[in-house]
Amino acid sequence: MGNTSQQKTTSAIDAHHYTYQVRWDAKSKQYQATVAELPECTAASPSQIEALTTVETEAMRRIAAMHAAGIPAPIPLTERRYSGKILLRIPPELHRELSIAAATQHISLNRLIANRLAGGAADEETSDNQSDV
């Protein structure tokens, strides 16, 4: 189940700290609830609240079963440590395009990509337009 540094003893995991999502499914005409850390835990209900409480209960049962089997439960996403580094593979053409954009804006390629991921693309365009004036 991944890196052991990203796991706690199962008894120390609080299921309420997991990342839950509840969404409407038009096909089934029910709310679908999921747990990001435990993709096998799902619930469906006509009620949002019922879908959420059902999937939370399922997550707690799953954690208890993992504990009983001696399997560590995943650490909640919000409690994990992140290095701030990712390895990204992109097509060479996109790499070239991004490198040129970074050079023309006088920023590093890393800064350009981080800005775009953070939604800063509009800020880059604004600074481009200002530098042309």
CA max distance for the chain? 67
Q: What is the CATH number of domain 4-79?
A: 3.30.160
Contact 25, 44 (CB under 8 A): yes
Tell me the pLDDT tens digit for each residue of 77-128. Answer: 999 999 999 999 999 999 999 999 999 999 999 999 999 999 965 555 555 5
Where do the structural domains in the chain lie, given as residue ranges? 4-79, 92-132
Indicate the SS3 state at residue 69: coil
| Beta bridge partners of residue 33, listed in sequence order | 22, 43
Query: pLDDT grade, residue 3 (50/70/90)?
Result: very low
